[in-house]
């Protein structure tokens, strides 16, 4: 029996024949590079089959064995390029910036305000400088500002987000000491996601110096403690907080007290909220023996799971030498001397710089000879990695940062007013001077881009 062919019945959804003679005029019978429509809800028309476009006009040097999916469209992320920012004691151009560490450009005060000047520290400065003055926090450069007058207004911290420079907070009066206008901010540090702020409230060379540490959470500034004291005791007035470092759990503070012992304190917990003027948040983890009470702490740094701290001797005498100490964080209370400096030399010091390439770097200054050196420690042996002989007028190390796989160390002139400063760069095992004849403040930071 023959099949019955019903022309155009396919127009109502049933295909009954492939005979071109029985199809409507203009009906498509064959197509190339066409696919049924892919838009849901639309009538099933035809659309051009997706094809390939040339990514690069240059042929590959060999056979292509595989491809990896990557978005080549306009929404592809722009690679971030880290850059350096360094503070300068200059009223018109208080910062300099560089993408490669070699070519530097001035940043005018209208863009970023001036960082806290050395003069604000008074006698605390000595031969060293507060070198934790600038950190990158919550997408912006936070730095200690110079925009206040000693004894008449309070220190401030500002931030620069890449385009706008604004005031972040002002240090409030101390309700315990009665100090209305604190003297200076001495250090900034990131701890448990917060910005920690060390403050020198009274002058350094007083019998009962006051200092506090504050916490900034991005919205509110509150005191981590209203005064420094030991947990479970009535011991107070332990000195000025000069250096901060965090291991993610505890905050460690290096202290300086004129003509007294240097100390390292540890917070009892990551955070103790609600600390008032009679509560003490600190554990004394590294006091010095009374016979060596002229060593003051210049910095604290973590290396291979232990805490290293460095000292400055403000006077000369038998047995008084600057040192690098190691505080074991596993063997509680065990403090050993890792490196000893020159004996009986006023104002000689060590200061921590950075952990880089698996090594610990510290700055060393011998007041007696004027020698300024960068020491390197590999966990077993100390060596002199650089003698800053070409810059004999220098005596102050600032801080150090790693940027684009290189290490940068800021060095400033002894009086904080000269223009013989330099930046030392360690690249592929070799040191060079990359920015000379500037009056550097000592703060250097990395803009992640």
**Within a domain: 236:** yes
Whether residue 393 has pLDDT greater than 90: no
pLDDT level of residue 291 (50, 70, 90 thresholds): very low
Spell out the residues 6+ positions from residue 73 whose beta carbon is closer than 8 angstroms to its own. Answer: none
Number of domains in the chain: 1
pLDDT level of residue 104 (50, 70, 90 thresholds): very high
What number is the average pLDDT over the span 382-391? Answer: 84
Give the predicted TM-score (pTM) of the model: 0.78
| 297 touches 242 (CB < 8 A) | yes
Predicted confidence at residue 94, as pLDDT, reads: 93
Q: Which domain holds residue 88?
A: 84-404+442-447
Predicted confidence at residue 154, as pLDDT, reads: 93
**Within a domain: 208:** yes
Give whichever of 74-83, 115-124, 292-301, 358-367 has the largest mean pLDDT.
358-367
**Within a domain: 73:** no
Burial 168-200 (b: 16+ CB within 10 A, else e): bbebeebebbebebbbbbbbbbbbeebbbbbbb
Average pLDDT, the chain: 78
**Within a domain: 139:** yes
**Domain harbouring 198, CATH code:** 2.120.10.30
- 55-71 residue pLDDT tens: 666 676 666 665 555 55
In DSSP terms, which residues pair with 160 in a beta bridge? 141, 165
pLDDT level of residue 402 (50, 70, 90 thresholds): very high
Predicted confidence at residue 380, as pLDDT, reads: 96
Measured CA to CA, the distance from residue 88 to residue 435 in angstroms comes to: 12
| Nearest CA among 322, 303, 323 for reference residue 245 | 303
Predicted confidence at residue 11, as pLDDT, reads: 52
- 193-216 residue pLDDT tens: 999 999 988 776 666 677 888 999
Distance from first CA to last CA of the chain, Å, rounded? 81
Whether residue 270 has pLDDT greater than 50: no
Q: Which of 105-109, 225-229, 270-274, 385-389 has the lowest mean pLDDT?
A: 270-274
pLDDT level of residue 273 (50, 70, 90 thresholds): very low
Higher pLDDT residue, 263 or 110? 110
| 83 touches 97 (CB < 8 A) | yes
What number is the average pLDDT over the span 256-281? Answer: 58
pLDDT level of residue 45 (50, 70, 90 thresholds): low
- 321-333 residue pLDDT tens: 888 999 888 776 6
| 133 touches 125 (CB < 8 A) | no
In DSSP terms, which residues pair with 430 in a beta bridge? 427
Phi, psi of 408 (to 5 degrees): -120, 130
**Within a domain: 62:** no
**Within a domain: 430:** no
Whether residue 119 has pLDDT greater than 70: yes
Predicted confidence at residue 366, as pLDDT, reads: 84
What number is the average pLDDT over the span 402-429? Answer: 84
**Within a domain: 123:** yes
* β-strand pairing of 240-246 with 251-256: antiparallel
What number is the average pLDDT over the span 139-160? Answer: 93
Predicted confidence at residue 400, as pLDDT, reads: 94
Whether residue 363 has pLDDT greater than 60: yes
pLDDT level of residue 355 (50, 70, 90 thresholds): very high
Whether residue 236 has pLDDT greater than 80: no
**Within a domain: 357:** yes
| Nearest CA among 116, 66, 111 for reference residue 92 | 111
Predicted confidence at residue 277, as pLDDT, reads: 40
């Amino acid at each position: 029996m023959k099949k019955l062919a019903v022309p155009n019945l396919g127009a109502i959804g049933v295909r009954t024949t492939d005979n071109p003679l029985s199809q409507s005029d203009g009906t498509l019978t064959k197509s190339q590079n066409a696919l049924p429509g892919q838009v849901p809800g639309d009538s099933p028309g035809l659309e051009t089959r997706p094809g390939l476009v040339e990514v690069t006009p240059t042929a590959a040097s060999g056979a292509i064995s595989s491809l990896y999916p990557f978005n080549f469209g306009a929404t592809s992320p722009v690679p971030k390029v880290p850059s350096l920012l360094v503070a300068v004691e200059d009223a018109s151009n208080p910062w300099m910036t560089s993408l490669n560490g070699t070519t530097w450009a001035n940043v005018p005060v209208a863009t970023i305000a001036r960082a806290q000047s050395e003069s604000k520290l008074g006698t605390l400065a000595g031969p060293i400088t507060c070198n934790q003055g600038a950190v990158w926090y919550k997408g912006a450069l936070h730095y200690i500002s110079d925009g206040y007058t000693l004894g008449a207004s309070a220190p401030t911290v500002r931030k620069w987000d890449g385009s706008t420079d604004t005031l972040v907070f002002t240090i409030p009066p101390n309700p315990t000491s009665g100090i209305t206008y604190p003297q200076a901010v001495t250090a900034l540090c990131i701890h448990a996601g917060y910005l920690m702020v060390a403050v020198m409230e009274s002058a350094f060379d007083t019998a009962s110096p006051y200092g506090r540490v504050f916490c900034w959470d991005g919205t509110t500034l509150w005191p981590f403690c209203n005064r420094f004291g030991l947990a479970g005791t009535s011991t107070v007035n332990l000195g000025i907080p000069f250096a901060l470092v965090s291991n993610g759990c505890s905050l460690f503070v290096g202290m300086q007290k004129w003509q007294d012992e240097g100390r390292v304190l540890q917070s009892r917990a990551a955070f103790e909220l609600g600390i008032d003027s009679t509560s003490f948040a600190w554990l004394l983890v590294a006091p010095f023996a009374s016979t060596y009470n002229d060593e003051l702490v210049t910095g604290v740094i973590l290396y291979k799971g232990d805490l290293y701290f460095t000292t400055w001797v403000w006077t000369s005498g038998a047995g008084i030498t600057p040192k690098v100490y190691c505080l074991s964080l596993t063997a509680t209370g065990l403090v050993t001397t890792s490196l000893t400096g020159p004996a009986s030399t006023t104002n000689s010091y060590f200061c921590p710089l950075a952990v880089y390439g698996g090594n610990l770097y510290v700055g060393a200054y011998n007041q007696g000879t004027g020698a300024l050196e960068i020491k390197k420690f590999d966990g077993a042996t100390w060596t002199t990695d650089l003698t800053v002989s070409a810059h004999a007028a220098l005596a102050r190390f600032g801080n150090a940062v790693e940027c684009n796989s290189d290490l940068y160390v800021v060095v400033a002139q002894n009086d904080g007013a000269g223009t013989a400063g330099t930046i030392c760069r360690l690249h592929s095992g070799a040191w060079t001077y990359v920015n000379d004849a500037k009056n550097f403040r000592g703060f250097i930071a990395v803009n992640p881009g």
